[in-house]
C-alpha cells in the first residue's frame, strides 16, 4: 500500500468512481474528493481545497459540470496554485476534444510547474447508460443536434485506465493523451447498436441547436442550456471525426469497441427497463 494518498476530484463521477475502484484494487491509498467525502472537496468552496490536498502526491482533476462553464479556468488556475503550495507533485487533468475552453485549461496545467498528464477524451459511451441520455434511451428516442456527423465514441473504462496509469507511473509525465474509440460512429449507428444489443427499439432523432436549447432550458435552466448548447455547437460539427492513438500509446492495447460496451451494458440489465 502506497502511504501518500492520491486525490480523485470528482470521485463519484463516471471517470472518478472507476479510478477510485481501480487504484484501491491495485493497493494505492486513495482520497475521494467530492462534496460529501470524509475530507470534502467542493469546486464552489475553495476553502475545502487545502485539507483535501494536504499530504497528497498526485491528483486527478475532473471539473464539474464542464470546463466550458464560466469561471472554470480561474478555478483550475487557483487549484494549481493550491496544489503547489500543498506539495502535490502531479496533476492529471480530464479534458475534452475540440473545446477551446478545455484547451485553455490544459495550458494552465501545462504551465503550472507541476508534473502533469492531459487526458483529452472523446464523447463518452457511458452517456447512454449512466448519463443524461439514459432516460431517452429507455424512452426509445435519442435526440441530439448532431446531424449525421460521426464521433469516435470512447468507453469511459479506457479513460479511467489511462488516468490510473498516469497517476501511478512517471513515464506518462508531460504527455497529452487524446482518447478515442477504435472507430467512427454516427449517432444513428450508435442507437442501432444499442437497440440490437438491448433488444429494444432505440432511434436517433437529429434536432436543431435551438430545439436542443429549448429542451435544456426545461432540464437545467438558462445557464445550463446556454453552455451545453454552445458545447454542442463547438464539438458536434464533424471536426472531431477522426481517430487517435491515445489509448494505444498510454496502455499498449487497442481501445474498447462500442459494440463491446453495448453488450456489457445490455447484460447488466440497465436497459431492460424499457422492455
Percent of the chain with pLDDT over 70: 98
Model pLDDT for residues 96-133, shown as the tens digit of each residue: 999 999 999 999 999 999 999 999 999 999 999 998 89
Apex CA 34: angle with CA 27 and CA 64, to 5°? 115
CATH architecture of 2-124+154-181+242-256: 3-Layer(aba) Sandwich (3.40)
Q: Residue 59: beta bridge partners?
A: 7, 91
With a cut of 50, say whether residue 274 has pLDDT above it.
no
Distances in Å between the Cα of 16 and the Cα atoms of 22, 61, 63, 140 are 10, 9, 11, 29
Place of cell 492513438: 245
Long-range contacts of the stretch 235-238 (C-beta < 8 A, 24+) = 235/96, 235/97, 235/98, 235/99, 235/123, 236/144, 236/145, 236/146, 236/147, 236/149, 236/151, 237/149, 238/149, 238/150
Model pLDDT for residues 191-225, shown as the tens digit of each residue: 999 999 999 999 999 999 999 999 999 888 999 99
Task: Please give the mean pLDDT across all residues of the chain.
Answer: 96
Per domain, the residue ranges of the chain are 2-124+154-181+242-256
**Helix-strand-coil split of the chain, %, nearest 5:** 50, 20, 35
Q: What does the pLDDT read at residue 131?
A: 86
Q: What is the pTM of this model?
A: 0.96
Calpha distance 168→143 (Å, rounded): 39
Amino acid at each position: 500500500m502506497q502511504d501518500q494518498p492520491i486525490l480523485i476530484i470528482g470521485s463519484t463521477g463516471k471517470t472518478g468512481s472507476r479510478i477510485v475502484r481501480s487504484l484501491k484494487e491495485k493497493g494505492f491509498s486513495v482520497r475521494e474528493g467530492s462534496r460529501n467525502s470524509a475530507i470534502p472537496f467542493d469546486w464552489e468552496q475553495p476553502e475545502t481545497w487545502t485539507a483535501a490536498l494536504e499530504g497528497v502526491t498526485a491528483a486527478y482533476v475532473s471539473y464539474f459540470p464542464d470546463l466550458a462553464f464560466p469561471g472554470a479556468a480561474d478555478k483550475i488556475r487557483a487549484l494549481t496554485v493550491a496544489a503547489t503550495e500543498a506539495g502535490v507533485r502531479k496533476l492529471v487533468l480530464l479534458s475534452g476534444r475540440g473545446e477551446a475552453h478545455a484547451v485553455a485549461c490544459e495550458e494552465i496545467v501545462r504551465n503550472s510547474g507541476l508534473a502533469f498528464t492531459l487526458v483529452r477524451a472523446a464523447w463518452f459511451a457511458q452517456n447512454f447508460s449512466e448519463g443524461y441520455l439514459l432516460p431517452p434511451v429507455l424512452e426509445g428516442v435519442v435526440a441530439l443536434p448532431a446531424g449525421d456527423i460521426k464521433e469516435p465514441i470512447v468507453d469511459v473504462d479506457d479513460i479511467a485506465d489511462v488516468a490510473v496509469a498516469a497517476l501511478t507511473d512517471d513515464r506518462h509525465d508531460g504527455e497529452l493523451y487524446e482518447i478515442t474509440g477504435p472507430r467512427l460512429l454516427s449517432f444513428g449507428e450508435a442507437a442501432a447498436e444499442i437497440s440490437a444489443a438491448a433488444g429494444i427499439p432505440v432511434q436517433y432523432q437529429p434536432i436543431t441547436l435551438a430545439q436542443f436549447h429549448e429542451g435544456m432550458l426545461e432540464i437545467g435552466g438558462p445557464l445550463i442550456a446556454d453552455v451545453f448548447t454552445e458545447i454542442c455547437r463547438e464539438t458536434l460539427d464533424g471536426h472531431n471525426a477522426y481517430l487517435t492513438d491515445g489509448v494505444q500509446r498510454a496502455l499498449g492495447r487497442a481501445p474498447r469497441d462500442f459494440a463491446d460496451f453495448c453488450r456489457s451494458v445490455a447484460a447488466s440489465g440497465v436497459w431492460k427497463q424499457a422492455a
